[in-house]
Amino acid sequence: MNQKKSFTIALAGNPNSGKTTIFNNITGTRQKVGNWPGVTVEKKEGSITRYGYNLKIVDLPGTYSLTPFSIEEIVARNFLLEESPDVVIDIIDSSNLERNLYLANQLREIDCKVLFALNMSDLARSRGIKINSEKLSELLDVPVVFTVGNKNDGIEALLKRAIELAESDSGITKGRRVKYSQDIENSISNLKSFIKNKIEAPLPYNTRWTAIKLLENDKIIKERILHKAGNKGREILKEAETYRKHLANRFDDDPEIVMTDERYGFIAGIIKEVLTTSTKQRVDVSRNIDLVLTNRFLGFPIFIIFIWAMFQTTFSLGAYPMEWIDSGINLLSTSLDGFLPENMFKDLLLNGIIAGTGSVIVFLPNILILFFFIALFEDTGYMARAAFLMDKIMHLIGLHGKSFIPMLMGFGCSAPAIMAARTLESEKDRILTILITPFMSCSAKLPIYIVLAGTFFSARAGTVIFAIYLSGIVLAILTGRIFRSTLLKGADAPFVMELPPYRAPMIKSLLIHMWDRSKIFLKKMGGVILVGSVVVWALSAFPQNIQYSCNYATEITKIQTSFEDAIASSDRFFRQTLEEKRDLAVAELLKSQKSEKAEKSYMGRIGKALAPIFAPIGVDWRGSVALLTGFVAKEIVVSTLGILYITEDEESDALKNALLASDMTPLSALAMMVFVLLYLPCLATIATIKRETNSLKWTAFSITYSTLLAWFVTFCVYQGGKIMGFS
């Protein structure tokens, strides 16, 4: 039996051209898809078997050219040039053909088999744009296939054509090369010959393409030449500089600018040959919508209203399924309480695992609703508009609107949001964005806000949560301004970002985003949160041999005995009153016993040690322990509160009732929410910061400054509230 052939197919293209959508359709995976640039920040791989071939499909980050600036553009180019995929499929946005053909022409210049996918062909048609694919294929000497990625149209034809191209023996024809003016062609030819004479071993790149990039002063290619050829490499660079000066004198401009102009001139000629636009006037819906949503006066207030509505709906709509899940958990707990004998396992199961994980899992509906809205903003194209609206505000801290996209992603999870900062060209911009992104309230913090705001602010909970999120943005901007003026000085980067057309979101895509997020949440429930709950329970349950301040069993017996005679001699009405007084007195003693046990447990000792640090900001020892456990994962804060505040109440809202019965006040609850907003990120985010900055110094700085800032701001909120008479 013959072994199946294997091919590697790379998907390249401009940002927002639909690469990841096509990748998902081909491989069946569910990579992040968003209607805004910079969604894919590293290459994704998927393997399939189709038409008797094993195919590895690689989704590369979006890039506008093979002259990279940002990290993800470097990732794309390095893969294309060094990994040598069997076929490169360039995904082209048919509605923006001229802009997309710049990368397409650069791909024609390298030694690889290229196939063009004219994607979003339905959008092009709706705009009255008609593309002659046969003529385009003939002029560029590259196969062309029409596709509509989000409708799965043309995908099979694209795969078949890619396999045919991979199997073909035809070499790369000279007709595929971009023709430059005579002076540039002479310089390319002479430099190409010089390189061949100096370097005996073959370069990793096409020699003509290498010469072109040296004339364009490509830093990465210059480094590779020096690394490959040493002293001879220096001679090559010196020779290239000679030709660069010659061309600069000849055209009175930098060679890279001249060559770019000539490429666009070639593209303009191609466009005239292959593209026709209907004379019928068509309404540009996206432009008309932007007249309102990006209006200089209306745009920002509308954005604020959208965000407020998102959080208000997340809280109010999510309250109903929360109650159902909470009732189910309490029913389970009550059933097991009556079924299991009293022992350590029962205590672990009820007061550790169920109390801990159950107090977190009730917030699954809220997280799903939040991610529904975030997916809605992404898929419709509004996310890019949010970055555009925030551009002026971001300039206050020396960044631009593109930096706001990772910050917005931080509403979901800080780790991928920090990874998204790779799309920024400047290293200082990337570090600054990484430092302030954790101030965005991730979905893991949402359960904490819902518990505290829902308990102490009731009907105003949605507005309070919105204010907390908004405070994170404001503080990110303020601290960012300080960093830009001190640690990370640098000029403002120019902001050029594509505003993609608005698109109707696909319900399937929205549901996939929600389900994928719920899977991550549920995996956490069975992993870090479960382990954290067991650890917190163990620290709370031990040691067992506690020396109480009094003999609670004896005191309870005394109370019951003191009421017996009075109850026996009273009529039915007074008997009921006396029984209620007796039960209340016993309950108070049991509550005192439970409180003393908690304080003298290992967890209580840790809390008491932390108490002096947290007392000035209105957080008691239970809250301080909960915040400490949040270092592992923020969801554990709620599970810790669920264990430490556990009561005999088996009804719904047990944690809410326990918090109301505790010493916590609305002001101290608000203070705790502010601290959660700002203090050190979770373990996964810290690991991401270390990986993305490649610096222990910046990682340690992020942990230290965020925690100190959290304490200072919370101190101001709590003590200021007390001075103004709030409680």
Residues 309 and 398 in one domain: yes
The last residue of a domain, from among 159, 176, 193 = 176
For the chain, how many structural domains are there in total? 4
Residues 577 and 603 in one domain: yes
Residues 468 and 584 in one domain: no
- Give me the pLDDT at residue 508, please: 74
Count the alpha carbons within 13 Å of 131 in the hemisphere toward its beta carbon: 31
Please tell me the distance from the alpha carbon of residue 331 to that of residue 349, in angstroms, as a whole number. 14
Residues 451 and 332 in one domain: yes
- Is 87 among the domain residues? yes
Residue 272's domain is classified under what CATH number? 1.10.287.1770
If you search the block for the tokens 């946005």, which residue do you land on? 93
- Is 517 among the domain residues? no
- Give me the pLDDT at residue 416, please: 75
Please tell me the distance from the alpha carbon of residue 337 to that of residue 331, in angstroms, as a whole number. 10
Residues 527 and 345: beta-carbon distance below 8 Å: no
Residues 441 and 449: beta-carbon distance below 8 Å: yes
- Give me the pLDDT at residue 1, please: 42
What percent of the chain stands above pLDDT 70?
Answer: 91
Q: In terms of Cα–Cα distance, which of 405, 464, 459, 485 is closest to 437? A: 405
- Is 63 among the domain residues? yes
- Is 547 among the domain residues? no
- Give me the pLDDT at residue 496, please: 55
What single-letter amino acid sits at 248? A
- Give me the pLDDT at residue 168, please: 85
Residues 636 and 657 in one domain: yes
**Cα-based torsion angle of the residue sequence 383, 385, 387, 390 in order, rounded to the nearest 10 degrees:** -130
pLDDT digits (tens, 9 = 90+) for 156-208: 999 999 999 988 876 566 656 778 888 888 999 999 888 888 776 666 677 88
- Give me the pLDDT at residue 650, please: 46
Residues 93 and 130 in one domain: yes
Please tell me the distance from the alpha carbon of residue 327 to that of residue 334, in angstroms, as a whole number. 10
Instruction: Provide the residue range defining the domain that includes 566.
Output: 526-540+552-723
pLDDT digits (tens, 9 = 90+) for 293-347: 888 888 889 988 988 888 888 888 888 888 888 888 888 888 888 888 888 888 8
Please tell me the distance from the alpha carbon of residue 401 to that of residue 412, in angstroms, as a whole number. 19
According to the 3-state scheme, what is the secondary structure of 55-67? EEEEECCCCCCCC
- Give me the pLDDT at residue 41, please: 53
- Is 718 among the domain residues? yes
- Is 285 among the domain residues? no
Residues 137 and 19 in one domain: yes
Spans in the chain with pLDDT lower than 70: 1-4, 29-42, 68-72, 170-176, 200-204, 279-284, 400-402, 423, 425, 490-498, 572, 646-653, 727
Residues 324 and 188 in one domain: no
Residues 138 and 243 in one domain: no
Element housing 47 (H / E): strand 44-50
Residues 478 and 599 in one domain: no
12, β-bridge pairs: 90
Q: Which pTM does this prediction carry? A: 0.68
Residues 190 and 170 in one domain: no
Q: Write down the mean pLDDT value for the chain.
A: 83
Residues 266 and 341 in one domain: no
